[in-house]
């Protein structure tokens, strides 16, 4: 099936509401700013695949564009339960929580999550440094006013939770290779292909993303994950 052909995708989706490829069509509608159709495709697809990462990410973008920031926040938090390494989702969550005026501790937690995925992220580094500086100055003021107290035991820093490779079905051979244009080359499409076990096609899309100048850290992370899945499939 040619993923560049919208009519072909629409016809296929009409006959296969349970297809894992629904985010591709939804993402296409989203790119055309056809939010009504994009939402309808997501609603149908997520009924069959309620925890689909790519589908949830498209839905979050729809909610944000329609101004439903609280709903977008809920969708992103749900997405990150199943994929802690989704950098774009964490960045969007930080943006939305900032607009919603969430508590500083909550924002700090989200921005630290960004730094776990991208240590060179400028905005995240600036925010964390600024908040940490305020905390340090505040604690120093308290120490000058309050009597000396026993030193608290140092808290052990929690190590970031490593992502477990998603459970997938055995790899199946595809007779007709998927044709992907650079316009449709997105991380959403990579997630769809990866979850369906189409690892070679997913790697091709990552190559296209690299040529487009997308985030190299995210591309490298996806490549490592896909290679792990390939190795696992060979052992099974």
Q: Where are the domains of the chain?
A: 6-136
pLDDT of 163 over the 50 cut: no
pLDDT of 172 over the 90 cut: no
pLDDT of 226 over the 50 cut: yes
Interhelix angle 53-65/87-99, nearest 10 degrees: 30
Give just the sign of the alpha carbon dihedral 30, 62, 55, 97.
positive
Residue 179 forms beta bridges with which residues?
2
CA distance 196 to 23: 12
Percentage of the chain lying above the pLDDT 90 cut? 44
If one compares 164 and 190, the residue with the highest pLDDT of the two is: 190
Mean pLDDT on 103-132: 90
| CB-based contact 87:218 (threshold 8 Å) | yes
CATH top-level class for 6-136?
mainly alpha
Q: What is the pLDDT of residue 135?
A: 57
Mean pLDDT (the chain) is 80
pLDDT of 8 over the 80 cut: yes
Mean pLDDT on 215-224: 86
């Amino acid at each position: 099936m040619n993923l560049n052909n919208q009519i072909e995708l629409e016809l296929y989706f009409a006959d296969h509401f349970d297809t894992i490829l629904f985010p591709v069509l939804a993402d296409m509608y989203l790119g055309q700013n056809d939010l009504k159709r994009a939402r309808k495709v997501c609603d149908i697809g997520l009924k069959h695949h309620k925890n689909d990462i790519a589908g949830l990410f498209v839905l979050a973008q729809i909610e944000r564009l329609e101004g439903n920031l609280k709903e977008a926040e809920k969708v992103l938090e749900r997405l990150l339960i199943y994929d802690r390494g989704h950098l774009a989702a964490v960045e969007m969550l930080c943006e939305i929580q900032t607009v919603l005026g969430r508590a500083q501790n909550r924002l700090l937690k989200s921005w630290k999550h960004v730094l776990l995925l991208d240590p060179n992220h400028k905005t995240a580094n600036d925010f964390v440094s600024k908040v940490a500086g305020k905390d340090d100055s505040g604690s120093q003021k308290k120490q000058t006013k309050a009597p000396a107290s026993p030193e608290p035991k140092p808290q052990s820093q929690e190590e970031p939770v490593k992502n477990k490779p998603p459970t997938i079905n055995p790899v199946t051979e595809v007779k007709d290779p998927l044709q992907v244009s650079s316009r449709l080359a997105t991380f959403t499409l990579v997630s769809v292909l990866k979850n369906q076990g189409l690892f070679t096609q997913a790697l091709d899309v990552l190559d296209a993303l690299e040529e487009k100048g997308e985030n190299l850290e995210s591309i490298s992370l996806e490549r490592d994950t896909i290679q792990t899945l390939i190795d696992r499939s060979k052992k099974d």
